[in-house]
């Protein structure tokens, strides 16, 4: 895959040179110190080869990218019953909006806005202690990425525990409608911690492989989810993965993707590759500015958009 | 393409046998008389062959499916300046919601909700008389479908002219923000008429070919739009093509698609085929019930979902 | 009533001296030319004496102040059945908001927001030609004010006919829910014209007398409405008379009142007086800036607040 | 005051006889056991005489009626600076709506919806321990009512502590905007406890006297607040005291009033009397059904409406 490595390298260089880098998220104090100059990219192809460039091995806070994996895990536990507690429509609202919850009886619009991801976390937690549930999530990430070194950044988790009032509002609000089963503090504890998982682009791209390959690890051949479920998770990523910037991401990049306020984006080119990019500066919708530009360049040069060559 | 014809035939038979057919739209009186037992399907492949079954040659009111073509036409006129007057994010709201317009200064969320399509029509109208603009739209449809017999059902247009108070509200509301340039009655006249275009599944699938083939007519090789624009129109169809049922359509069908309250859906399998289905019974979001089921069956059997084989 | 005349005189002088005068409404072009230096006040006491000062005899466009009188007239026609089509709760929204209508099936929150007043006008219109309905409204105003010289400013009415897109949106929206019975253009024609009635402060204060005196003209003793109805109209004025500035008006002035974007305010001191003030500069909620300050000074000096001496 | 006692007696008997009694609130489990047959009324006139009937000496949970007194206390502490953190407009929304908070940067619309009252409690709490703040509130109530036996019902407070998820959501939401200064749990602890104050109608009517008499205790002559502040608190009660039923209360009763989900209402007839009624059955807006009917009968028979004799 020499071509792919060259394209990835070129894009990393172009991104480094750009003067516009977005603004680093400040609402989680611990993330505010990230270096806006950082940029990493990693692409894992169908044959298992990895093309990577820039800060591709630097761990960053994956934040909401973790929601793809908790959704996968929760679907594994309760199957389609999950959709009784969470919708799967784009919200047309910012990531932390509470308005939609009031109109829809506490049922979050989709699993990728904060409220929805908290409800998904609550499903994983049910029947377990918070520590167990969190262990399960981390081990699932390590298994998918084939890398036991993936860890939770406790300083980030603690920072959000102290300041996550809006998420606490969302969780209590859902609890008032009976949408959460567990004590709010337990559910939020697990949520804040899985958002604080630290991974490099390389690790994240590895973890996403099953979504690019019909639910299977393309090297080991092991099935993580059914092909249908992989397609459906990709569909939810495409319509809902970037909050109220989801339409824009589909329009420009043309791939299912999930962003996090840490500046990471996981994108899936079905049948082709799992891609992770990272740059901490965000655009107005809270998605990585350079990350999106890099993915736009990548799909354009390789003809990888799901919407046509 | 014998296999495709067999699959299409099977699906048509399965759909005919289903007892659940949704409810025929009644808010446009002229449409209320449609027969819920109708079902048609047509698929035009890359080589130009057509697989079709059921009521595939019966003309129906394409209604909002026309918005794909008016968007294409308007982009051809003003290019990306179009996006100053219309957004491209999913709305999270029903097709005729006015709430979003108040929050966003009269700019419709996307070109496929009614308000957005009215704004797009206003762009096509600018500098022309309504009759000319309408002629241009109809000729564009005839050109794309390679069929000069496509016509406007005047009874349907007149019916909506008399009863379309909600669309009149949307148009006046946008006009109050300066989003429409032309007299409201002119813009709505053109809008109601292009929604009243009557086409069969076969004609509609023919008209959609350019979206499946990088902007070109695959037989003549003539370019309708650039490959990038074709991709982008597909992206907007996927995220916004089914109102507040867009997430559900992506989740179940996995193709860009645009529905109309007449019961038609145009779906695009990029690189593969342009597909039209029709059945007048609608689900709660106003999209054809059997139409969606038929498309779900089709993509599943052929592995055509953009989200993975 | 020498004291009252002195207080009124003082207030008129204080208001003239103030540098802050608010902004003249520009959304009705014909009103934009009003002189922000204008200030008028007139108070009609229980004994029929009038204290007046400033531009108290200059006619101005009463605009939404007319809604008090159309409500009175419509209640006379259909009684409490009126409340099936219009609510009587404060809206918490600007005068021309359409959001509330969507949430509440086209039923306007109260008769003093634009949508509500349009619905009230529709009630008056039913069974009549627009010209007749309008004649009835004007004659009612002339009767109440005991002044046959009150007229409609046709230039203002025509100006709003040409530009009132937002009101046209509200009317069509209600029509789509069946809340309006008459053709939208007829109802709006009457609405725009009664808003364009021109009156002086003196005439307006005279017209409001029945609300201060249990529904009767205190001089002639003629009953206009029952005492209960007079109280109830006052109640709706207090809670809803100033759009999303109604709480502020009650807090500062402490009287039932109705404002118009022409800069007029009618206020009622029950058992004591009918008061009209006018100054065209508006505050952020669209209510006369000096008008409210003048009423605040008046109630404070005379101890006329309904909330305590 | 023999007449008043007779009127009050008559009303109590009429209320007892009515078959329609509304529904007892169930969302605070401890309140669900209240007897819907209960009805009490007490009126304290300007001369200090008390007319009372029914269950006028039975303590009930005053719930949101306490918000009148915490507002008074907080205004005493920070004066008009209070209005930087809380608005004073009717909300047009249910008591526990969170939608308005999102649109207005966490600033509650008025001090009588739950969010506003929590913000007011936070002001009282600042600089104190929760226990001290609560003590101050209870002593203030005892002082106003001239009755040291007023107490907090700990079972009710504990019940709401366990189940008040929606209030916890509101508080965390405001905290995320910096509207609350203290730890959310402290503020809510004080809030839940002052809502759980138990008082009889007689005690409550005594406590409200200062609002009927220009801020003074009419017997001792001691000033609680300035006359202007008393008027203004009354104004806020009238426009905002009954959530989205405030317009209805003003329309039917015509007095400033504040209701609580325990079924109590405090109403003020300025210059005349302080009135408390209690009946646990609620109407759709969460206000005492018989309580409002009793007040409507009272003002009608005595001509006490502020909107006219």
Instruction: Report d(CA D249, CA D233) in Å as an integer.
Output: 16
How much is the pLDDT for A103?
A: 81
**Identity of the residue in C88, C89, C308 whose CB atom sits nearest the CB atom of D271:** C308
Environment class of A123 (CB within 10 Å of its CB; exposed 0-12, middle 13-18, buried 19+): buried
Q: What is the pLDDT, as a whole number, of residue D113?
A: 93
Q: Is A308 in contact with B239 (Cβ distance < 8 A)? A: no
Q: Do A308 and B227 make contact, defined as CB atoms within 8 angstroms? A: yes
Query: How far is the C-alpha of D133 from the C-alpha of A46, rounded, in Å?
Result: 65
A247–B88 CB contact, under 8 Å = yes
- How far apart, in whole angstroms, are the C-alpha atoms of residue D42 and residue D8? 8
Phi, psi (deg, nearest 5) at residue D202: -60, -45
A-D contacts at Cβ under 8 angstroms: 55
CB count within 10 Å of CB D13 equals: 12
> D166 and A172: CB-CB below 8 Å?
yes
* pLDDT value for C92: 75
Q: Are B233 and B71 in contact (CB under 8 A)?
A: yes
Q: Is C167 annotated as a binding residue?
A: yes
A168·D172 Cβ contact <8 A: yes
Residue B253 DSSP symbol: T
10 Å Cβ neighbour count for D293? 21
Strands (DSSP E) contained in chain D are: 23-24, 40-45, 50-54, 60-61, 151-152, 197-199, 257-259, 264-269, 273-278, 281-282
Quote the pTM value.
0.94
The CA distance from C24 to the nearest CA of chain B, in Å, is 19
pLDDT of residue A1: 44
Place of tokens 């969010």: D115
CB C54 within 8 A of CB C285: no
**Other CB atoms within 10 Å distance of the CB of residue B47:** 9
Nearest CA in chain C to D267: C307
* End-to-end Cα distance, chain A: 19
Could A176 and D165 be called an inter-chain contact, meaning their C-beta atoms sit closer than 8 Å? Answer: yes
Phi-psi category of residue A28: left, alpha or beta, with phi > 0 → left and psi -120 to 50 → alpha? beta
Q: Among this protein's residues, is B261 annotated catalytic?
A: yes
Judge whether C258 counts as a catalytic residue. no
Minimum-distance CB partner of D238 among C89, C250, C271: C250
Confidence (pLDDT) at A99: 79
Band of residue C39 on the pLDDT scale cut at 50, 70, 90: very high
- Measuring CA to CA, how many Å separate D59 from each of B298, D26, D55, D204, D277? 69, 19, 9, 10, 12
Cα C66 to chain centroid, rounded:
5
CA C197 to chain centre: 11
C64 is in an annotated binding site: yes
DSSP string, C156-174: HHHHHHHH-HHHHHHHHHH
Cross-chain residue pair B235–A227, CB shorter than 8 Å:
no
Q: Which of A8, A44, A66, A67 is catalytic?
A: A67
B308·A240 Cβ contact <8 A? no
Told to judge if A77 belongs to the known catalytic residues of this protein, a careful annotator would answer: no
Chain D interface, best mutation among C94, C233, C250, by max D CB count within 10 A: C250
Q: pLDDT per position in chain D (309 positions), as tens?
A: 459 999 999 999 999 999 998 999 887 788 888 899 999 999 999 888 999 999 999 999 999 999 999 999 999 999 999 999 999 999 877 766 777 888 888 999 999 999 999 999 999 999 999 999 999 999 999 999 999 999 999 999 999 998 899 999 999 999 999 999 999 999 999 999 999 999 999 999 999 999 999 999 988 889 999 999 999 999 999 999 998 899 999 999 999 999 999 999 999 999 999 999 999 999 988 999 999 999 999 999 999 999 997
User: Would you say C279 and C290 are in contact if contact means Cβ atoms under 8 Å apart?
Assistant: yes
In total, chain C counts a number of residues equal to 309
The pLDDT assigned to D99 comes to: 79
Among chain B residues, the shortest Cα distance to A309 is held by B214
Q: How many CB pairs under 8 A join B and C?
A: 55
Q: Which of C97, C102, C176 sits opposite B165 (nearest CB)?
A: C176
Query: Which positions 160-179 of D are in contact with A (Cβ < 8 Å)?
Result: 165-166, 168-173, 175-176
- Neighbours of A (≥3 Cβ pairs closer than 8 A)? B, D
Contacts of C171 (CB under 8 A, 6+ apart): B169, C115, C118, C180, C184, C187, C188, C191
Mutation target to probe the B interface, by most B beta carbons within 10 A, among A92, A255, A274 is A92
**Burial level of A17, CB count in 10 A (0-12/13-18/19+)?**
exposed
Q: A176 and D170 in contact by Cβ < 8 A?
A: no
- DSSP-assigned beta bridge partners for residue D268: D274
Residue whose entry in the numeric block shows the structure tokens 């004291």: C3
Phi, psi of C269 (to 5 degrees): -105, 100
Three-class DSSP category at D98: coil
Q: Which helix (H) or strand (E) holds B230?
A: helix B227-240
B249: number of Cβ within 10 Å: 30
Q: Is C261 a catalytic residue?
A: yes
How far apart are alpha carbons A272 and A48 in whole angstroms? 10
Confirm or reject contact between B188 and chain C (CB < 8 A).
Answer: no
CB B249 within 8 A of CB B241: yes
C102 touches B at CB < 8 Å: yes
- Alpha-carbon distance of B76 to B68, in angstroms, equals 13
- pLDDT tens per residue, chain B (309 residues)? 459 999 999 999 999 999 998 999 887 788 888 899 999 999 999 888 999 999 999 999 999 999 999 999 999 999 999 999 999 999 877 766 777 888 888 999 999 999 999 999 999 999 999 999 999 999 999 999 999 999 999 999 999 998 899 999 999 999 999 999 999 999 999 999 999 999 999 999 999 999 999 999 988 889 999 999 999 999 999 999 998 899 999 999 999 999 999 999 999 999 999 999 999 999 988 999 999 999 999 999 999 999 997
Confidence of residue C49 (pLDDT cuts 50, 70, 90): very high
Identify whether the C-beta of residue C277 lies closer than 8 Å to the C-beta of residue C287.
no
| D266 and D205 Cβ atoms separated by less than 8 Å | yes
A236 touches chain B (CB under 8 A): yes
Measure the CA–CA gap between B267 and B285, rounded to whole angstroms: 17
Give the domains, in start order, of chain D with CATH numbers. Answer: 2-59+200-218+231-302 (3.40.710.10), 64-197 (3.40.710.10)
* pLDDT at residue C163, rounded to an integer: 86
What does the DSSP 8-state code read for residue D287?
S
Give residue for tokens 């490595």. A5
Buried/exposed A202-233: b ≥16 CB within 10 Å, e otherwise: bbbbbbbbbbbbbbbbbeeeeebbebebbbbb
How many angstroms away from the CA of D173 is the closest CA of chain A? 5
Q: State residue D1's pLDDT score.
A: 44
Contact C234 D110 (CB under 8 A): no
Task: Tabulate helix, strand, coil % of chain D (nearest 5).
Answer: 50, 15, 35
**Gap between the Cα atoms of B292 and B277, Å rounded:** 8
D281 beta partners = D24
Q: Please give the angle made by the CA atoms of A209, A214 and A215, to the nearest 5 degrees.
A: 60
Of the residues B67, B159, B190, B200, which is catalytic?
A: B67
Q: What is the pLDDT of residue B203?
A: 98
Question: Catalytic: which of C44, C67, C156, C179?
Answer: C67
pLDDT grade for C6, boundaries at 50, 70 and 90: very high
Residues 6+ away with beta carbon under 8 Å from A62: A195, A197, A198, A199, A204, A260, A262, A264
Which H or E run includes A44?
strand A40-45
Catalytic residue (choose from B200, B224, B243, B246): B243
């Amino acid at each position: 895959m020499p071509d792919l490595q060259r394209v990835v390298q070129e894009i990393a260089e172009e991104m480094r040179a750009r003067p516009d880098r977005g603004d680093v998220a400040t609402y989680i104090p611990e993330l505010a110190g990230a270096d806006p100059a950082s940029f990493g990219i990693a692409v894992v192809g169908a044959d298992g080869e990895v093309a990577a460039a820039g800060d591709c091995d630097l761990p960053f806070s994956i934040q909401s990218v973790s929601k793809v994996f908790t959704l996968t895990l929760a679907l594994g536990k309760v199957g389609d019953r999950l959709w009784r507690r969470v919708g799967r429509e784009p919200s047309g609202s910012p990531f932390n909006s509470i308005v939609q919850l009031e109109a829809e009886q506490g049922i979050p619009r989709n699993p990728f806005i904060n409220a929805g991801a908290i409800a998904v976390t609550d499903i994983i937690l049910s029947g377990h202690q918070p520590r167990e549930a969190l262990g399960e999530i981390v081990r699932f990430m390590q298994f998918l990425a084939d890398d036991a070194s993936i860890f939770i950044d406790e300083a980030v988790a603690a920072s959000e525990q102290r300041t996550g009032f809006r998420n606490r509002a969302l969780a209590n609000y859902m609890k008032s409608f009976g949408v959460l089963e567990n004590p709010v503090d337990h559910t939020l504890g697990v949520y804040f911690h899985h958002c604080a998982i630290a991974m490099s682009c390389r690790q994240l791209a590895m973890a996403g492989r099953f979504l690019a390959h019909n639910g299977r690890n393309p090297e080991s051949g092991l099935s993580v989810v059914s092909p249908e479920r992989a397609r459906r998770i990709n569909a939810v990523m495409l319509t809902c993965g970037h909050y109220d910037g989801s339409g824009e991401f589909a329009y420009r990049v043309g791939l299912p993707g999930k962003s996090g306020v840490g500046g990471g984006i996981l994108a899936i080119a079905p049948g082709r590759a799992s891609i992770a990019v990272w740059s901490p500066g965000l655009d107005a919708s809270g998605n990585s500015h350079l990350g999106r530009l890099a993915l736009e360049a990548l799909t354009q040069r390789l003809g990888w958009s799901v919407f046509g060559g």
